[in-house]
Amino acid sequence: MPAELVGTFSGESLQAKDVSITISADGAVSTTAHFIFDGVDEIKESQAQIKTIVAVAPNIYRIDDYDGLIDAIQPGITGLGGTGFVAYVGFKIENDTLTPIAFVAPTAEEIPSVQPTDLGVNLTRN
């Protein structure tokens, strides 16, 4: 795991009022997100194990393989998905701010050539 990604980051998203993600040196990821849907509080805890992470730029990483829940590696986000495309998630890190990103293309073979999309969540290092 790249050292700059290791640690605990927190903040909020457009969908969750509190988001926290902890990334360990061995690739273990633990996320807690506090969502409010239709006035109902829901705290979701998710875990994943990143198996393969690729640096696509000096501060941009794509997760190519993991075990566990995708919620853990796209903290504070729901509803990413659909048909007719392939999506890989990852992280951008800049000035101790972790931003979940997605690489989206029609096929997996095209993923390495696409620019990532910012998922609208900025988490600061604790």
What fold, for 3-125?
A: Lipocalin (2.40.128)
Strands 40-57 and 60-68: antiparallel
CB burial string 56-67: b at 16+ within 10 A, e below = beeebbbbbebe
Q: What is the per-residue pLDDT for 95?
A: 95
Q: What is the per-residue pLDDT for 80?
A: 65
**Residues of the chain below pLDDT 50:** none
Q: What is the per-residue pLDDT for 21?
A: 98
Q: What is the per-residue pLDDT for 78?
A: 81
